[in-house]
Amino acid sequence: MSAPLKPPAAETYHRPAGLAGFAADWASDQRAFKNVSWGKAMMWIFLLSDTFIFGCFLLAYMSARMATTVPWPNPSEVFALDIAGAHVPLILIAIMTFVLISSSGTMAMAVNCGYRRDRRKTAALMLVTAFFGATFVGMQAFEWSKLIAEGVRPWGNPWGAAQFGSSFFMITGFHGTHVTFGVIFLLIVARKVWRGDFDTERRGFFTSRKGRYEIVEITGLYWHFVDLVWVFIFAFFYLW
C-alpha cells in the first residue's frame, strides 16, 4: 500500500524592497478597492482629471502674466464697484467667495443628513446649496456683463495686457460651467431624495440600492472640488 501524497509546500513570497514592493502590494491586493462603489471611484477619477485641466489653465495664466512686457491690469481696480459714491475694490468677488464657501458647508450637512437617512433635511440642504450656487453664477454673469460693457474682450482690454481678457474668460467661464452643471445635478438629486426614491428604490437615473444615499456623497465630492478650485482662482487671479 502506497503512502498518501503530501500537499506541496507553500511557496515563500519575498516582497521586493522600496517602490517595487509598494507597487507589488497594491497590484496584488484584491481588497484595496473592493468596498468602493463604481460611482464614487469614477467621480474621484473625474476630479483627478479635472484637477489637471484647471492646473494647466492656472499655469498658463501665470506664464502669460510673467512673460508679458505690457503692464498687467490691477485686479483691485478692474473688479471694483462704486457703492454710495465709494470705490470698493473686490467687493463682488469677496461676496461670491463667501457664498460659494457657505454652500460647501450646507453640502457637508446634507451629506451628514444623508448618512442618517433624513431625506427631508438632506433635500432641503441640497436645495439651499443649489441656491447658493445659482447666486454665485448670477453674480458671475453680472461681473462678465460689467467687464464686457467696459471693453474687455478675449483679444484685449482697455487697461493693459491683451492676455488678461482671454485668461479671465477662459478660467472663470470654465469654472462657472462646472458650477452650473453642479446646480443642475443638485436639483435632480434633491428631487429624488425628496420623493424618497432612495428609500423605495424607484427606478431611474442616479438611483442606488435601497436605503443608500451614496449619490448625495458623490454630489458632495464634486461640489467641494468646485469650491476648492475657486479658492485657487481667487488667490491667483484676483489677489495676485
Write down the pLDDT at residue 239.
Answer: 87
Is residue 159 classed exposed, middle or buried when 0-12, 13-18 and 19+ CB atoms within 10 A define those classes?
middle
Report residue 117's pLDDT band, with 50, 70 and 90 as the boundaries: confident
Write down the pLDDT at residue 178.
Answer: 96
In this predicted structure, the answer to whether residue 220 has a pLDDT above a threshold of 60 is yes
* Residue that wins the pLDDT comparison between 128 and 240: 128
Write down the pLDDT at residue 88.
Answer: 87
In this predicted structure, the answer to whether residue 102 has a pLDDT above a threshold of 70 is yes
Write down the pLDDT at residue 10.
Answer: 47
154-213 pLDDT per residue, tens:
888 888 888 999 999 999 999 999 999 999 999 999 998 888 877 776 665 555 555 567
In this predicted structure, the answer to whether residue 3 has a pLDDT above a threshold of 80 is no
Measured CA angle at 38 (ends 56, 215), to 5 deg: 90
**Axis crossing angle, helix 119-149 with helix 91-115, rounded to the nearest 10:** 160
* pTM score, whole prediction: 0.81
List of domains in the chain: 38-238 (1.20.120.80)
